[in-house]
Structures are given as structure tokens and as C-alpha cells.
């Protein structure tokens, strides 16, 4: 589980992610219709349950808040034990045999690869005399960082992760260019885990310096104005063997001076009295201030932050608060002298932009620059003398420009219904860039002339599949408590509503994440084989701002699952599909979503894929990043929150003797964010309880972390496994 930061620097993460009008409206009421009939029961052939690998049940029982809670598979939490390794090996062998029996598996590979064959080019960054951008021709395993002398030039490869690690054991994890374009710090993920090592390359020569920074997570480095050092967030080195499960404690902001000998770098900022706090550093464009955004847990996960500024030109300068108290979301956007621009939810559930003036640090002055509107702010970036503000209305984006004084500079017309990401640029820039994507449009970069307000395509990627035969529409359905919930449907034009369409229902329902139209190679493949894609905007997410998220957090998390189940029921009632033709899938918080839905309504789904899910809701907080999620899920240490967690925790709500739908549980061996034992325990419980013939499979991907395979080849193998499983479970055949 994680939440994308919406800062100006966040464009690096955003463009990498998309490469792998201020006048909005409230949701319209759903059309009046008769109440849906109860969903039909899946027709299962008379087959006996499979003979799964043995996984013994221990006798661990804990009494929590007066409630005895059994944990028979606690032993699987010891990831390095011989017993756990034997369980994993047996499960993987069992799963491979099942995969090999998938009809037309050989034909599946080329179709999955064709959907992924999309050229990927990020928006350019201007530093000094150079322009920097990421590129992949659609067939390369990893991204390549290019440098050019003009934004339209082809440039030359500067950092090629394919050459650094042909086997993908070291994977792309971001980059940060120094202010004058002299150096680039580039990140290497260890086997796809969140642990990242940073190296430094000289742009002119392409030569690596001896500098190395290890044991960082989540936050990239930010360069000092003189290019002699960079600041970064680091963690203590975990004990050997505990790299996956060690709690994220003791974060500190450090400074690494170029050429410094190996050893611990000096600490710039830390709060040892708050070991769970973490820090995202950012140096202002003029190099004067270090801005530190603080979260309790990973910055952004709880949706509340503190922000401080340190004057780097003053000796022993103390941090000056821009926002304190963890009372709202505060995300740094840009600065102009001693004025700092923040995007915030303070007194604005839909978001606003404020300026904090620190000319008198003892009495900071706040001023609203962009007021809250009906549309929800999703991201803000500064380019030249403009603030580019992306908002979403229902489940699609709008883009608006404002002056730094809040003057309305007009809406920027987008090419369709999709998602937009404004990209930050320096104060001297005369043009801005933004990335637009939709279900039928791979991530396309546009150049905006700031003087004229005109946009033009800068780079339009090439895709192997033609998606012109498909359409996107938004519907509203009614959830359990009567709330209208939006949902996007993508399908072939002229879809027959006969209940026979194989349908892929997915969602997230987590704070800070809004579901919107975007190009996705998996969706493109599913459409190409005759499927329907359904994506609801569940409560718990941010489709309608902070209130939409808060209503489904902590003791109210069941609301998210009710929304998802209601989406499935609507699809059946409207004869888009039927339970035997309905597949559900989700990852991370979305993995929890589909696992909770299938344990509560096993009759409603024909196939389930749970990817890197948070599945043991009574012990998630004890490892890795889990403590930071208690602000959203609640804590098992609080009695009323414990009861709510126990009521839906997938591991604890598997019922013996139940006919569960075919279920594939996917996890990464190097996942440091959601430790793999969540998946191991869930699979062991499901296999022991399964009364029906549907397979319960564990797929442990050995060269991946929380985001899946580190290379395109690994991702394609995972998708072949996933969609081969779904198609066999739903009784589908590949078209010619």
C-alpha cells in the first residue's frame, strides 16, 4: 500500500509510473430501475477439491481484547526457515503444473506481448544546457535515461538499466538530476524491493563516480544548489536476514557530499523521539532552503503531514514550520524567495493551494492562492510563472493554469476523457509539459506554450494494438447504504447485454488514489480477447475528495468492500456479465479489497486474483511499513478498531467447507512493503478450507517486489500466468 505524492518533484515518480475544469459536478443519481435479482450461483462441474501440498496447522491462539484468535499458520512468518521454504517450493511446483495445463498457453504469450508493445517516453526535464527523459522502445526490459541538447532531439543514452543489470536483479528506481545538469543520481532497486542504492554519474563523460548511498526507501535524493552534495532520507541498515520484515523505524535526512569517503553521512534532520516518522526532502530551486515533508509512516499514507523549511545559507539554522500538527494534507509545490506554495486539504476537503510567507519566521502569513472548488485537486506543478492544477470530476481529469498570485490563466483543453499529469519545470521556462493518457491513448506528452496557452503533441508513443473498436462510458450504481458510486466501463462497441461477457472488475479504494481512465497493457489485452473492463471509484479513495476517503477508513473500512460487491451485483443485474464470467483482481490495498470481497461473497465471482495483498489485518502493523497504515486501517491495539479489523481480515475469515472460486494469490519474494507471509498464510488457510473444485494457487515471483517483475520479460511471464488462470477459470478461448 502506498500513496503517490503530488509534489512538483513527484513528476519523476509519476512519469515512471505512467511509463510502467475547475467547475466540476457532484455525481448524478443512478438511473431508476427495479431491484436486482439475487446473483445466480456458479455452475460447478462435479469435481473433487484438489490435493494441495501439506501445510500443518499450529496451535497458536492469542487473546486480544478478550477475544481468542487462532493463528494456525504463524510459522509461515519465519521466511527463512526450512519449513517455510519447503512450503513455498511445494506450492510453486504445484502452481507451475497447473499453469502448464492451461489451454492455448503458447498462443497466449504473443497476444500478451502485443498489448505491452508500447513505446514509452517521459516528459523532458530541463537542467542547465541539457534535457533529460526516459525512453523504452516497447520491447526493452528496462527504461533508458537519455540526455539531449534540445527537447526535441534524439539525444544519447546516459543510464541504461538494461546494461547495468541484464537479469533485472538491479532495477530502475528513479533518477535525480543536479541543478546545472552536471550529475545524475540514479537508483537501483534490489530485486524489485523498496531498498534502493543510489549512484552518481557524470553527465558529460558518462562516468560513474565512486559515491554510493545505500539503505534508502521511498524518497529520492535532492541536490544542493552548488551541486556539491545531495540530501536524502535513509534508514538504519536492518539486521542480516531481516531486510524484508524489519520495521521502518529511525528515518533521518542526511547529506552526502560528492567525493566523501564511505561511511555514515551526516544527519541534517531527525526526530528520534518519534521513530515512526519519515521525511521527504526537497531543495528549493534557488538552492536556499531544504523543505522537509514529514509523515507518521510513509509520507502520504495517512493523508496528513507536517512541513518545515531549513535555511541552508544560515549556520545552525533551525527548521521553521510551514505546517505543523498533522491536521491535514500538506504537500510542497514550489517557492518564490521566502514564499512557499503548498497544496493542502486544510479547510478544503477538495484541496486548495496556499502560500506561506516566512519573511517573519515567528509569524508566518498564509494566503489562499487557488481556492477550493467542486472539482478535487489531484496534483499541482509549477512551470515558469504558472501553477498547473490537475483536478478530477467524477473519474476523469481537468487541467487549469493559474498565476503565482492566483490569477486565473484559463483551462487547458484535453483531447478526451482521461488522466492528466502536469510536469514541473523551472521558473525560467517558457513552456510547460503535461502527460495525458486514456484507455485508448498511451501516455502522450504535450507541450504548453505559457505565453499563448496553446498545446501541441511533443511525443506520441506508438502502440501495437488498435483500440478504436472500443468505447468508454461512465455509469453510476447504488451501494449497500444507498450511495451512488461511479464506475467506468470499457468494452467493444455494440456490446450484447446477455450476461455472457467475460468481465474484469478491479479497484483500489485507498486514500490518495483515484481511479481514472489510463492506458494499461493488461486492460488492452483483456479487451483484445473479448473482455469487459469495469473500474469503480470506491469510497476510501479520493474520487470526490477527502470526505470520500474518510467515510471508509478505520472502523468504517467495510464500506469499501460493500461498494465493490455492489459493483459486481450491478454488472450481473444489468446482464453485462454473470458470476461464472466475472473475474476480480486487485493489488496491495486492492489485494485486500478483492480478498475481503471473495471471503464475504464467494458465490459472486468466477475467478479471483489477489496480488501483493495486505491480508492479515491483525499483524500487518508489526513489520515493514505496516505501522504507517494504521491511520487508514486502524490499529489492532485499539479495541473497537481491532473488532472491525477482525470482522473482515481475509486470513481470519476463511470458513472451512466453503466452495471458494478459483483463486490465484501472487506475491513477490522481495516485497518489503507488504511482506510475503500475508499471501502464504492466506493460501494455506484457503487450501485447507476449500470444499469446491476451484484451484487455490500461490504464485511466488522470485525476481519481483511490491510492483511486480523488475523487467518487461518478468512482467510478461506474470501476465501470461495471470490471464491464463483467469481465462481457464472463466471457460474462455482465445479468438483467432
Looking at the annotation, which residues are catalytic? Answer: 588, 706
- Short-list 212, 223, 162, CA closest to 187: 212
DSSP track, 97-125: HHHHTSTTHHHHHHHHHHHH-B-EEPPPE
CB 688 within 8 A of CB 54: no
- Contact partners, residue 542, CB within 8 Å, separation at least 6: 376, 378, 511, 512, 513, 514, 548, 549
d(CA 515, CA 540) in angstroms, rounded, equals 11
> CA distances (Å), 622 to each of 192, 301, 368, 630, 705, in order?
22, 16, 40, 11, 19
Distance CA 496, CA 620 (A): 43
588-617 as b/e: b if 16+ CB within 10 A: bbbbbbbbbbbbbbbebbbbbbbbbbbbbb
In angstroms, the CA 577 to CA 573 distance is: 8
Strand 125-127 to strand 306-311: parallel, antiparallel, or no bridges (unpaired)? unpaired
Classify 11 in phi/psi space as left (phi over 0), alpha (psi -120 to 50) or beta: alpha
Strand blocks (E) in 507-606: 532-536, 582-587
Q: Give me the residue label for grid cell 534502493.
A: 196
CA distances from 504 to 91, 484, 491, 586 (A): 26, 21, 11, 10
3-class SS of residue 551 = coil
Cα separation, 414 vs 447, in Å, equals 12
CB of 574 closer than 8 Å to CB of 548 = no
Amino acid at each position: 500500500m502506498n500513496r503517490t505524492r503530488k509534489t512538483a518533484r513527484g513528476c519523476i515518480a509519476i512519469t515512471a509510473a505512467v511509463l510502467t475544469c475547475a467547475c466540476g459536478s457532484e455525481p448524478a443519481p443512478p438511473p431508476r430501475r427495479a431491484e436486482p435479482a439475487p446473483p445466480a450461483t456458479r455452475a460447478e462441474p462435479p469435481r473433487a477439491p484438489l490435493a494441495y501440498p501439506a501445510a500443518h496447522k499450529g496451535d497458536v491462539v492469542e487473546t486480544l481484547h478478550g477475544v481468542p484468535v487462532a493463528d494456525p499458520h504463524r510459522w509461515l512468518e519465519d521466511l527463512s526457515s526450512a519449513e517455510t521454504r519447503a512450503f513455498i517450493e511445494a506450492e510453486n511446483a504445484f502452481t507451475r503444473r497447473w499453469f502448464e495445463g492451461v489451454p492455448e498457453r503458447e498462443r497466449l504469450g504473443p497476444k500478451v506481448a502485443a498489448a505491452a508493445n508500447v513505446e514509452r517516453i517521459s516528459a523532458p526535464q530541463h537542467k542547465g544546457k541539457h534535457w533529460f527523459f526516459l525512453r523504452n522502445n516497447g520491447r526493452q526490459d528496462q527504461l533508458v535515461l537519455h540526455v539531449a541538447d534540445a527537447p526535441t532531439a534524439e539525444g544519447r543514452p546516459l543510464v541504461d538499466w538494461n546494461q547495468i543489470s541484464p537479469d533485472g536483479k538491479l532495477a530502475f528506481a528513479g533518477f535525480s538530476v543536479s541543478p546545472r545538469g552536471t550529475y545524475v543520481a540514479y537508483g537501483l532497486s534490489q530485486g524489485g524491493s523498496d531498498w534502493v542504492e543510489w549512484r552518481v554519474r557524470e553527465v558529460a563523460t558518462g562516468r560513474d563516480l565512486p559515491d554510493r548511498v545505500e539503505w534508502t526507501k521511498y524518497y529520492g535524493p535532492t541536490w544542493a544548489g552548488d551541486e556539491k552534495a545531495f540530501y536524502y532520507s535513509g534508514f538504519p541498515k536492518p539486521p542480516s536476514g531481516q531486510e524484508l520484515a524489519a520495521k521502518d523505524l529511525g528515518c533521518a535526512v542526511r547529506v552526502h557530499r560528492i567525493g566523501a569517503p564511505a561511511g555514515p553521512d551526516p544527519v541534517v534532520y531527525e526526530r528520534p523521539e518519534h521513530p515512526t516518522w519519515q521525511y521527504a526532502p526537497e531543495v528549493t530551486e534557488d538552492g536556499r532552503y531544504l523543505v522537509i515533508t514529514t509523515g507518521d509512516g510513509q509520507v502520504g499514507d495517512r493523508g496528513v503531514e507536517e512541513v518545515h523549511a531549513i535555511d541552508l545559507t544560515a549556520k545552525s539554522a533551525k527548521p521553521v514550520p510551514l505546517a505543523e500538527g498533522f491536521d491535514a494534507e500538506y504537500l510542497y509545490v514550489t517557492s518564490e524567495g521566502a514564499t512557499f506554495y503548498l497544496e493542502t486539504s486544510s479547510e478544503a476537503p477538495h484541496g486548495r493551494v496556499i502560500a506561506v510567507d516566512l519573511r517573519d519566521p515567528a509569524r508566518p502569513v498564509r494566503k489562499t492562492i487557488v481556492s477550493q472548488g467542486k472539482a478535487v485537486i489531484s496534483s499541482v506543478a509549477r512551470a515558469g510563472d504558472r501553477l498547473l492544477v490537475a483536478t478530477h470530476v467524477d473519474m476523469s481529469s481537468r487541467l487549469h493554469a493559474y498565476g503565482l498570485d492566483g490569477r486565473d490563466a484559463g483551462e487547458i483543453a484535453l483531447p478526451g476523457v482521461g488522466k492528466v499529469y502536469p510536469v514541473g519545470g523551472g521558473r525560467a521556462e517558457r513552456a510547460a509539459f503535461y502527460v495525458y493518457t486514456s484507455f485508448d491513448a498511451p501516455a502522450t506528452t504535450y507541450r504548453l506554450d505559457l505565453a499563448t496557452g496553446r498545446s501541441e503533441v511533443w511525443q506520441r508513443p506508438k502502440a501495437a494494438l488498435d483500440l478504436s473498436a472500443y468505447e468508454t462510458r461512465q455509469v453510476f450504481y447504488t451501494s449497500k447504504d444507498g450511495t451512488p458510486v461511479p464506475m467506468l466501463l470499457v468494452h467493444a462497441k455494440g456490446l450484447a447485454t446477455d450476461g455472457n461477457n467475460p468481465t474484469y472488475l478491479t479497484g483500489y479504494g485507498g486514500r490518495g488514489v483515484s481511479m481514472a481512465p489510463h492506458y494499461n497493457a493488461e486492460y488492452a489485452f483483456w479487451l483484445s480477447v473479448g473482455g469487459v473492463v469495469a473500474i469503480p471509484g470506491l469510497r476510501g479513495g479520493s474520487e470526490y475528495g477527502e470526505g470520500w476517503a474518510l467515510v471508509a477508513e478505520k472502523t468504517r473500512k467495510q464500506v469499501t468492500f460493500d461498494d465493490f460487491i455492489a459493483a459486481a451485483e450491478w454488472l450481473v443485474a444489468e446482464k453485462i456479465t454473470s458470476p461464472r464470467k466475472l473475474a476480480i483482481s486487485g493489488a496491495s490495498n486492492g489485494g485486500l479489497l478483492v480478498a475481503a470481497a471473495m471471503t464475504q461473497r464467494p458465490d459472486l465471482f468466477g475467478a479471483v486474483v489477489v496480488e501483493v495483498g495486505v491480508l492479515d489485518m491483525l499483524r500487518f502493523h508489526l513489520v515493514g511499513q505496516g505501522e504507517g497504515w494504521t491511520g487508514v486501517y486502524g490499529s489492532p491495539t485499539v479495541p473497537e478498531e481491532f473488532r472491525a479489523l477482525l470482522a473482515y481480515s481475509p486470513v481470519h475469515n476463511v470458513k472451512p467447507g466453503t466452495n471458494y472460486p478459483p483463486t490465484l494469490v501472487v506475491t513477490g519474494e522481495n516485497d518489503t512493503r507488504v511482506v510475503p507471509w500475508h499471501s502464504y498464510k492466506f493460501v494455506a488457510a484457503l487450501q485447507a478450507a476449500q470444499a469446491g473444485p476451484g484451484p487455490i494457487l500461490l504464485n511466488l515471483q522470485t525476481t519481483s517486489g511490491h510492483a511486480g517483475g523488475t523487467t518487461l520479460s518478468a512482467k510478461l511471464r506474470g501476465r501470461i500466468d495471470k490471464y491464463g488462470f483467469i481465462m481457464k477459470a472463466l471457460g474462455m478461448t482465445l479468438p483467432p
